[in-house]
Structure 1
Amino acid sequence: MKIKTNKIQILGLIIIMVVILFCSLVALQNPGKYTYFLFRSKIIVFFLAVLGILLSIYVITYYSKILFKKEYFGTNREGIYNGCSYLKEKQINWHEIVELNEIKYQGISRIRVKVIDNKKYLKNLNFMTKYIADRTIKDLGTPIIIDSANLDCTFDEIKKLIFDNWKKNKTN
């Protein structure tokens, strides 16, 4: 079964990040103009503007790939295909999964997927993605977490899909 991405939500996030990019570029041109009681120095405004530019470019690039590649989430006899994942390796085979459980992480219900070898999923990552993956491993013991944030379904639907298919296919 395939679940498509929620294109309206992703497009909305891209638009927000374009606005942040524009505001950061404006602040970067004249940081002295934007100093006030919160940002008392041009250096802080400059630093935050550069950070806003880098972060927005990264997020716009990431979500544009998801939006235009028509990525999806799905399960089959081989495993889970998570096209919306930040990891390069999208296919998670059932026989590689050690444990599946529902968790609350950063206030969002997610499914933690513990696998035999995390290193397989950490190959060919850029600096920012590697940092996110390392942080997730430190917090959860795995780089793979699944939620319904970018998908056109509820968390309960995705949870049922994953757990039902795992029970059916994990021994095969």
Structure 2
Amino acid sequence: MVLYFKARAEAGDYTIFMGIDKFENEELIKFGFPEDIWFHVDKMSSAHVYLRLQTGQTLDDIPEGVLEDCVQLVKANSIQGNKINNVDVVYTPWTNLKKTASMDVGQVGFHNQKMVRTVKVEKRMNDIINRLNKTKVERTPDLKAEREAINAAERSERKQQLREKVCFDIFQLLLAFGMNQ
């Protein structure tokens, strides 16, 4: 089961989602999208929260309000982190997550520590959590099928671009050959 939330509307159309447990988190780690940003309370147990960016967006493009929504959701879904103030939340692109066979279920590391950002969350903001919970939808997606569909679409797009380039190159050769006649 994956829980989906809508970030504040004034910031744009952003979806925030998280696994219901560590096993679902494992699936989210395995079948994420390059546009996903992963959030977690630093050095404590917490939910794995993801923000799906638009294609081409980066960490620097996350609106401040959407970032606040994500870190508040992570804090609220950490047993220990929810009870204390001034917790650090780390976030990084999904592509920076590193999973090895020796790691426990739901545990991750990072390929590049320089790509990990930290934000301090002073306290839980109930108004944010309540607003997000009003948008919560539970779904049981086929994460593998979603990932495979995206991969197939990307392959198809690359093939089409290659075909167009080959046709253009042939056209250029024919023009050059015709001009030399």
Q: Give the TM bin, normalised by the shorter chain.
A: under 0.3
Give TM-score, length-normalised by structure 1. Answer: 0.26
Greater fraction of residues in helix: 1
Give TM-score, length-normalised by structure 2. Answer: 0.25
The structure having more radius of gyration, on CA atoms, is 2
